[in-house]
Amino acid sequence: MKALLLIDIQNGFCPGGNLPVPDGNQVLPVANKLIDSGKYDLIVASQDWHPAGHGSFASAHPGKKPFEVGTLSGKPQMMWPDHCVQNSKDAEFHPDLHLGAVDFIQQKGQNPAVDSYSAFRDNDQAALTGLAAYLRNKGVTELDLCGLATDYCVKFSALDAVEMLPGVTVRFIEDASRGIDPAGVKAAIDAMRARGVAIASSKEVLA
């Protein structure tokens, strides 16, 4: 059972969004090729889905600016611009994404007291989203993942997939993903590779 996990391909992370990843919209043609390829038995998408006033937003901390480090629930926290607020256009999947072929949507980031980069669990690793159980129940043996942003939500999702889905082959599709910071992207890929995540291109996947 082969699954594709599309991570946070939402308006908020594309040009024009509240937290745009550079060239984030360029993942769309590649992601759509993967979706339409017929190579996958199951297609899943994660969706950042924050309540208004989420604790990771700089606006929730008087005097803090976006991209400064603050604290949330006593732990260091990057302060983000308000983004992907529930039921906003910013939180919607990008309109060009072939969403009709997606079998399951996993929302994340709903607890205002903790951020949630991974599609599998909150950053404090205490609360699970339920995605790992869903994939296990479906009998997934191979998981390809891609999306936005490589150095945050994609990286943490890949590392959690390795840990929480023992025996499942996990592969990161590099050209169907974009990151915020080039140095962060390199470090993320190194971290994924070190944990046993295969790094592939869409050309290799679709061959």
Catalytic residues: 8, 108, 153
Give the separation between CA 64 and CA 47, rounded to whole angstroms.
26
Residue 148 CB partners (closer than 8 Å, separation 6+): 7, 8, 9, 10, 13, 14, 21, 24, 27, 154, 177, 178
**Collapsed DSSP state (helix, strand, coil) of residue 68:** coil
Which token pair is 111?
A: 């607890």
**Cβ atoms 26, 147 nearer than 8 A:** no
